[in-house]
Structure 1
């Protein structure tokens, strides 16, 4: 279906984001990550929303190490997460990776992110 839509002239980056979001919402995180990797291999740049979808998908699936890895990748390419994303990731990490919440907060503070009272 994806290839057919591209052939018909749909924007490839928009399609990829839509498919990644749908995969993550359905718990199909491996497919979302694979599509994101394929997209980057073709020279398409992931949006901050793309990273956020994958991060939340990983967090919701209990894949906290992958969640953290994608979060770090997001930061490394220059995107700063929204407060809502920070809250979601922190909540999931607190279930078993409390030290990573502190690491995440430190990294974000170093990048100029000012968390809200809710974040603390």
Structure 2
């Protein structure tokens, strides 16, 4: 998770973490505020990451395409989308579990000192 620089107490997040946060915040059923709260980061930080992502600073190709309309989908396409959604939710759940363990370990370290 985040690592502290020496001297200042600023957190450094991995590129992978930033990209996943940005991608989650772009999903239609999630708000940026909810994503920021779930990841325990400030909404302004997420907004800055979104801007940097749009500008291509993360080495990702820029995607300015609008998502496909959810009109007439074949059953197979719908099944693929549902499987993808399940995988995303499982991944999000795993990240939240790891974050919860990290927070518990930090609290435990604070009590022990």
Structures share a fold, TM > 0.5? no
Larger Cα-atom Rg: 2
In the superposition, the TM-score normalised over structure 1's length comes to: 0.26
In the superposition, the TM-score normalised over structure 2's length comes to: 0.27
Q: Considering fraction of residues, name the structure with more helix.
A: 1
